[in-house]
Structure 1
Amino acid sequence: FQALAELHERVPPFPREDAMKIIEGEFERPVSQVFSYISDEPVASASFGQVYQGRTFDGALVAIKVQRPNLLPSVLRDIYILRLGLSFVRKVAKRRSNISLYADELGKGFVDELDYNIEADNATKFLDTHSKYSFVMVPKVLKQLTRKRVLTMEWVAGENPRELLSLAKGISGSIAQLSEKQKLDAKARLLDLVNKGVEASLVQLLETGLLHADPHPGNLRYTPDGRVGFLDFGLLCEMEKKHSRAMLSSIVHIVNGDWASLVYDLIEMDVVPPRTNLRRVTMDLEDTLGEVTYEGGIPDIKFSRV
């Protein structure tokens, strides 16, 4: 997980001059007429774009997300290759179901992510839905400074989970040696972030039904006022009430090793297709997972195997 997180957050940036050309192209005027300030280097770089810190002409500090150049052809090529690969796997494995459809669904999500107007709408919807929860922070979108390949949002100050974890271990890039108090304070902030992160996840799953679908460490912040801040709204997931209840029920049944009931939870979540041999699925779960064992009173469950 740590290696994947580092890979996700350390994508090499593309040249600043390319980013400025994209901003000028989207707004059809010089960058100096759009923002009063843009940082020389990106503060974050990912596979689809990179983020600069900037200021508006009224002095507001903002995050400016700029899409990578020529991204659409690359995404379409990769989805096409994935579709060919899945078709080959289907033939080799002699699968009846058309698993190439997974590539189509993935491709639709990726293409939607390339339109930052959609992400802006997602962020606004997520903010409106969760604004009543005082421990959740969602940045506001500046619609007048947002286009298809440029997204401008309120700047979120704070520490990400990996920074807090390093500080708790006494590792800091700016301080030679952290005191015990500094390490304890970092541990307390990290624990508070974890608790509020879990609570925010349960709120999304069980109350609002609107889930942030990409909550990796780079997309989370622990703000100075002790809230959990969410970033990057390219992917949201809306859950029906019956799906939320079934997912909660499935966790209970997995922990208890009640595989027959778990199958019916999967049906409620629309995971198991019609005309499936339910007895066979139940037997496969029992054969693969067997009895649930406990270590120190805690069930030892490998959810990836489930």
Structure 2
Amino acid sequence: MKMKIRHTKRFKEIIHAFLRNGLSRFLLRLGLISRNASKHEPTDMNMQEIGAKLRQALQELGPTFIKLGQIASSRRDLVPPMIAFELEKLLDHVTPVPFEQIREIAETELEGPLEKIFSEFTEEPLATASIGQVHAATLHSGEQVAVKVQRPDIRPTMEMDLAILSDLASFLEERTDWAKTYRLREMIVEFSRSLHNELDYRVEGRNCERIAKQFEKQPTVVIPRVHWNFTTGKVLTMDKIEGIKANDLEKLDEGGYDRKIIARKIFDSMLHQILDEGVFHGDPHPGNILILPENVVAYLDFGMVGRLDNKLKEQFAPFIIHMRNRNTEGMVELFLEMGFISEETDLRALRRDMDDLQNKYYDVSLDEVSLGTIFIELFQVAYRHQILIPTEIAVLGKSILTLEGVISKLDPSLNMMMAVEPFGKKLMWKRYNPKKIIENSWVEIVGSVGFLSRLPRELKAITTTIRKGKLHLDVNAQQLKMYLGKLDQTSNRLSFSIILLSLSILLAGLFIGSAIAGRTSILWQFPVIEAGFILFLLMFLFLIYFIGRSGRK
């Protein structure tokens, strides 16, 4: 009962924050207030004004909603551009926590007085944020460290806010089509998981170590070392790194740094994280990138980390190639392969919008094209056609946008669209090299054998369902042709596999029979088994080729 009362009180605070900032019509559309409560609000507000009011409301509501707004700002496939632009301005800086409370939390977590654990611990914070704040300290070994301490009572507040958001998402999915279309509950679950990870500083420490391993042999990129003996879920102790922020051009020029070299190192190191390793810094803004002597780049703060699996990494290469070749059909096919397009998507309208986007850059040379701008415009197309972009791609898009902002100030001549092409070609080679094709083909063959073994049971189940009259078909006519084509390819490949299997059994029988009988394999002066073996080998290579080719579509 106490929890319900607290939730009700907090829910009222959320509603009042939106009302105070003139967002009653927004609440009315969500079905959270009555029509009378919104009648005095002006009706002629544009998207930018709505975004500014929404930003102010989220700022007032505290850490959970600040984080929610920051994540929403990266979802250009869900949020209108002008609102996303305003949400990008959300500040994560808050009033510092009194040092007495920081001392209490640190000593409880580290199980001892600060004076015994550190030879020095500064009371004035180096940085403050909505979840924690950072203090400079010195270990008894003499090492300079930065200690991040979580704000007091932050977890219960966030847990309550997340519970309210989860209930609200369920409410909206039951009553609105857009919430159901975008699977709002799943998005809140993903947001909750991300926020819980940020609340556990050990997760950030592991993220830091994982990215540090990517640059073990590259002294030009530095990742701070985690001191695990002085790290818990609420306290994170790392090497203190001092340098110049990547956007402080005046200091960089005064220190004689080479901005072109720095820009290239930042870009190459981020592309290495994204396309080679698949784990990358999710928020590479200038405050998280420091420049050290000799143009060394240092990354800080690994609370937000993006991940791309092997399939998404491989699909990034054709994305760049299709964009360069202005291949609209290839882009749409890629979206279908990646599972972005729902049954409700109007493919004809999508192709038209993709054509418009391609034509916009038709007469523009690659060195004038912004990769970040292309991501924004692709997300806008996704927004118009209700295409749900996976969180991983949204984080990637946000990272590229942020990165391009940093690089464009350091070296305006460095174009990311041009610079990413060698990485794309390398990925294409990895995807299409013979070893990879054979590996994929073997997986397909093993899968086909499993499918064949299950086929009688599956056919029996389907027959039973049909006999009971319980078979229902839900076919989207716009995609029927594509599905029939895929079905035709699958059936042909399955038939070919069965023929190949039969031929191999027949050849094996002839080999064994000839060996037992002690006879030659000559028939009418023709070497039957040898010819059969050559035919079998050609058919096998033919099958591998088409399986590999189908994996590229």
What is the TM-score normalised by the length of structure 2?
Answer: 0.47
Deviations 1:134-185, CA, capped at 9 Å, x for gaps: 32111111111111100101111211123x23547xxxxxxxxxxxx72xx5
Structure 1 residues 1-306: aligned runs within 5 Å: 4=88, 7-8=91-92, 10-87=93-170, 90=173, 91-94=175-178, 95-162=180-247, 164-165=248-249, 167=251, 182=254, 185=255, 188-272=257-341, 279-280=347-348, 282-283=350-351, 285-286=353-354, 289=357, 291-293=359-361, 297=365, 298-299=368-369, 301-306=373-378
Work out whether residues 328 and 358 of structure 2, in 8 Å CA contact, stay in contact via their aligned partners in 1. no
Q: CA deviation at 1:44?
A: 1.1
CA distance in structure 1 between the partners assigned to 2:166 and 2:250 by the alignment = 40
3-state SS, counterpart of residue 329 of structure 2: helix
Rate the CA distance shift 1:3–1:158 in 2: closer, same or farther, 3 A.
Answer: farther
Structure in which a larger fraction of residues adopt helix: 2
Rate the CA distance shift 1:208–1:281 in 2: closer, same or farther, 3 A.
Answer: farther
Which one is further off, 69-78 or 136-145?
69-78
Could you say which structure has the larger radius of gyration? 2
Q: CA deviation at 1:65?
A: 0.7
Rate the CA distance shift 1:159–1:280 in 2: closer, same or farther, 3 A.
Answer: same
Q: CA RMSD in A?
A: 2.9
CA distance in structure 2 between the partners assigned to 1:269 and 1:55 by the alignment = 49
CA distance in structure 2 between the partners assigned to 1:287 and 1:127 by the alignment = 42
Identity %: 29
Rate the CA distance shift 1:270–1:61 in 2: closer, same or farther, 3 A.
Answer: farther
CA distance in structure 2 between the partners assigned to 1:15 and 1:227 by the alignment = 35
CA distance in structure 2 between the partners assigned to 1:243 and 1:287 by the alignment = 24
CA distance in structure 2 between the partners assigned to 1:2 and 1:69 by the alignment = 29
3-state SS, counterpart of residue 225 of structure 1: helix
Deviations 1:45-84, CA, capped at 9 Å, x for gaps: 1121111111000100001011111111222233334445
Structure in which a larger fraction of residues adopt strand: 1
Rate the CA distance shift 1:142–1:161 in 2: closer, same or farther, 3 A.
Answer: same
3-state SS, counterpart of residue 7 of structure 1: coil
Q: CA deviation at 1:127?
A: 1.1
Rate the CA distance shift 1:227–1:17 in 2: closer, same or farther, 3 A.
Answer: same
Q: Considering Cα pairs closer than 8 Å and 6+ residues apart, tell me whether 1 or 2 has the greater RCO.
A: 1
CA distance in structure 1 between the partners assigned to 2:337 and 2:139 by the alignment = 48
What is the TM-score normalised by the length of structure 1?
Answer: 0.82
Q: What amino acid does structure 2 have at the position aligned with 1:61?
A: Q
Q: CA deviation at 1:284?
A: 5.8
3-state SS, counterpart of residue 243 of structure 2: coil
Work out whether residues 161 and 217 of structure 1, in 8 Å CA contact, stay in contact via their aligned partners in 2. yes
Q: What amino acid does structure 1 have at the position aligned with 2:232?
A: R
CA distance in structure 1 between the partners assigned to 2:146 and 2:288 by the alignment = 13
CA distance in structure 1 between the partners assigned to 2:184 and 2:324 by the alignment = 30
Q: What amino acid does structure 2 have at the position aligned with 1:283?
A: R
3-state SS, counterpart of residue 52 of structure 1: strand
Ranges in structure 1 where 5+ consecutive residues have no aligned partner: 169-180
Work out whether residues 139 and 155 of structure 1, in 8 Å CA contact, stay in contact via their aligned partners in 2. yes
Match of 1:171 in 2: none
Ranges in structure 2 where 5+ consecutive residues have no aligned partner: 1-84, 379-553
Work out whether residues 292 and 299 of structure 1, in 8 Å CA contact, stay in contact via their aligned partners in 2. no
CA distance in structure 2 between the partners assigned to 1:92 and 1:227 by the alignment = 51
